[in-house]
Amino acid sequence: MSQAGQLLKGQSGLPVDNPTKSYWHRETSEKLIGHRTTKELPRSADVVIVGSGITGSFAAHFLKEKRPDLNIVMLEAREACWGATGRNGGHCQPAIYAAEAHIASFELRNFSYLKNLVEEFSIPCDWRSTSGVHAFYSASLFAVVRNEVRHLADEYPDLAANVAVVTKGDDDDGKGLSGTPSYLLEGERRELTLEGLRVPHAEGAVVQWNAASLWPYKLVAFVLERLLAANGGDGGGSFNLQTNTPATGLSTSSPPANLSSPGGSNSNNNSNSSSPIWTVHTPRGTVSAPKVLLATNGYTSHLLPSFSDLIVPTQGQVSALKPPEEPATPSDPPLDIGHTYYIMGEPDNAMERDDYLVQRPPPSAELIYGGGRRHAKGRGVGVWDDSAVDESVAWYLRGELGSVLDLSLHGKTGGKQTAKKQDLEPTYEWTGIMGYSRDGHPWVGPVPASLGGGGDDGGLYVCAGYTGHGMPNAVLSAKAAVDMMYDGEGAEIDLPPEYELTEERVAAARGVDEVVVVDAKGSLYADFGVAGGL
């Protein structure tokens, strides 16, 4: 594309206007398609949010909870929730054993918040709580994982209660980490074998009890529609969504002497009167505000070129596949794999595979399978264009699943069919852009002046860079960003310190290998291979 010649190494372009068709966009919100709350772009606001995915939508939600009087403008380059959240694998699962304990706890809180929210408001997003199976096809990788779970059981038993290790046969390490933990019911004990989990050829597996599949676009659409429905309420503020309005640039200036509040709310917004005013440029004009949040994930470096080596756009790919067998009669149930899956490692390369799988509910029962980046040119690192699928990856996703998972109708209940290679028929194949972080953690907080921001009280914030692991991180990360905006210095913020955007962290991140180098060695998300998937 013509933009590419103007970009720095690693920098993202704008979201393209002809992306591949995601499965999750097959049913869209009539209220959100083409939505512009006002015909003209507002000239000012209290807060501008760039991006309408899970981060941006929940940031607006938390802002309105904290300050109903705020005037918020949200800018989206394409349709609402048309980026990574609307293109991911449809799963939400915290990394219990594959992260530091405090990060695992944060992700578990994020998962619980979402689960409770869906239940409280009966959000029609097909949330299905299930267990997550992490199947390992490398003996060396599984050995490392077992040690990690053993350490978790020794040091953090409350977290370890969310995890079980499943081994071959009667292989037991004496610490309750075999395939039949004593606290399970008899039926659960029979199922908790590699065969019962449909991964008979794996070297071993880890099962996490907190996992879910969902329709991510519908979750975000509910949040955005609820924010729009609240306009005109008693809070005095507003929520203005402007789709098909790409943010093309940022500029800053000192506030006019007579400026009390750009959005019209006259209450204290925790901004110093000398703090800069940020102007977001779009093809339809500009909008100015004392606070701007970039919820732009893989596209962050387009507005902040200084992030080109910190958050690198990376293309992921997903396919919706028809199950290989039809039920014998229309009244018989379709294939039900019973879990969500991560599929990791190969016998000769521990870090080579990081695939992920969920299943749609009946009657379609489609298998949503993502991964295969090792077959993409350059593993997709540095790619910000999601207008086409990679045929090599598409071929892999169609043909690989049957070789690692027993897809027979009766596999779960004791069928003897074994996994085999077979081409599955796709109904949708699509790509999306992830934001891969140089140190593997999201970046949350005010942008330092050295990176193009205004420092701690400078009004420009980022919440991005999830490395393909956004669903169990984005919501509470967005809340932390909002708390940083309005709770003031010294407030207690619920956020792992590794996620905080600081000068010291930037320097440390730039002291390690670049994303493209680390990713070429295998999964960037964790040293021992829990997948970072779209």
Q: Where are the domains of the chain?
A: 34-87+217-312+437-520, 121-211+315-431
Look at residue 354 in the predicted model and tell me its pLDDT.
85
Cβ atoms of residues 193 and 400 within 8 Å:
no
Q: Which residue would you say has higher pLDDT here, 494 or 529?
A: 494
User: Is residue 172 pLDDT above 80, yes or no?
Assistant: no
Distances (CA, A) of 224 to 21, 73, 92: 21, 12, 20
Q: Average pLDDT of the chain?
A: 88
Instruction: Tell me: pLDDT of 278 over 80.
Output: yes
Q: What is the mean pLDDT of residues 112-132?
A: 97
What is the model's pTM? Answer: 0.91
- Report the topology of domain 34-87+217-312+437-520: FAD/NAD(P)-binding domain (3.50.50)
10-19, 492-501, 511-520: least confident range: 511-520
Q: In 113-203, where do the E strands start and end?
A: 128-136, 163-166
Architecture of the domain whose range is 121-211+315-431:
2-Layer Sandwich (3.30)
488-495 contacts, C-beta under 8 A, 24 or more apart: 488/270, 489/456, 494/106, 494/109, 495/106, 495/444
Quickly state the pLDDT bin for 524 (edges 50, 70, 90).
Answer: very low
Is 434 in contact with 467 (CB distance < 8 Å)? yes
Does 271 have pLDDT greater than 70? no
Flag whether pLDDT at 388 surpasses 70: yes
Q: Report whether pLDDT(5) > 60.
A: no
- Listing DSSP states for 243-280 in one string gives -S----EEEEEPPPTT-S-TTS--S--S--TTSPEEEE
Lowest mean pLDDT among 234-243, 309-318, 444-453, 516-525: 516-525
For residue 274, the model assigns a pLDDT of: 65
Q: Is the pLDDT of residue 265 over 50?
A: no
145's enclosing H/E stretch is: helix 139-155
Q: What is the pLDDT of residues 194-227, one digit of tens each?
A: 999 999 999 999 999 999 999 999 999 999 999 9
Instruction: Name the residue with tokens 């400026």.
Output: 259
Sort residue 317 into left (φ over 0), alpha (ψ -120 to 50) or beta.
beta
Helices (H) and strands (E) in the chain, counts: 11, 18
pLDDT in tens, 473-512: 999 999 999 999 998 777 899 999 999 999 999 999 999 9
Name the phi and psi angles at 458, rounded to 5: -95, -5
pLDDT tens for each residue of 56-112: 999 999 999 999 999 999 999 999 999 999 999 999 999 999 999 999 999 999 999
Distance of alpha carbon 75 from the chain centroid: 20
Report helix, strand or coil for 71.
strand
| 352 CA to centre of own chain | 21
The pLDDT value given to residue 488: 73
Q: How many residues comprise the chain?
A: 534
Closest among 176, 177, 184 to 204, alpha carbons compared: 177
C-beta atoms surrounding 403 within 10 Å = 14
